[in-house]
Amino acid sequence: MMILVSLPALAARVLFALAAYSDACAKANPDALMWGLLIGFLGLIPGVVYLCIRNSSRNYLVCPNCGFRHYFYDAVCPRCGAPNQPQQNRNPLAGEQARRAKLFLTIAVALTGVTILAVMVFTVFVVSVSSFGGNAFYY
């Protein structure tokens, strides 16, 4: 029974990590992998920290030629040498990555609800079995 409770919780944690990774990639955060791993392994506290600083990486952009993340004030891309265009301030894949982050987050919240429901059912089952299965009489 504990496996039925722990599997959705583990899947929810992985999906929260994937949602944070996808969101960080959509915002051209160079530390996207780090945030995904921190939230995946440590859970709630790095998730709250990420939510607090997620919009602070606006000074990066993604080169449309090679996909390299670099500072917006670089005249050319450090990897391929393509010139930066004045309107180039977004990740070209940001829309897809943001949709993926929303999908992962929605599934993770649903799995968290399933986990909470499974814990409640498990608790009621254990209490009912222990109260009716013994020879104790209450007067």
Please state the domain extents for the chain.
Answer: 2-55+96-133
- For residue 88, name the pLDDT band (cuts at 50, 70, 90): very low
Whether the full predicted model's pTM is greater than 0.75, yes or no, is no
CB atoms within 10 A of CB 6: 12
Asked if 25 and 31 touch (Cβ cutoff 8 Å), the reply is no
For residues 14 and 43, give the distance between their C-alpha atoms in angstroms, rounded to a whole number: 9
In this predicted structure, what is the pLDDT of residue 133? 57
Query: 119-138 pLDDT, tens per residue?
Result: 888 888 888 877 665 555 55
Query: 41-80 pLDDT, tens per residue?
Result: 998 888 888 888 877 656 677 787 888 877 777 788 888 9
Query: 53-64 pLDDT, tens per residue?
Result: 877 656 677 787
DSSP 71: E
Dihedrals φ, ψ of 126, to 5°? -65, -45
For residues 36 and 83, give the distance between their C-alpha atoms in angstroms, rounded to a whole number: 31
Mean pLDDT of 106-125: 87
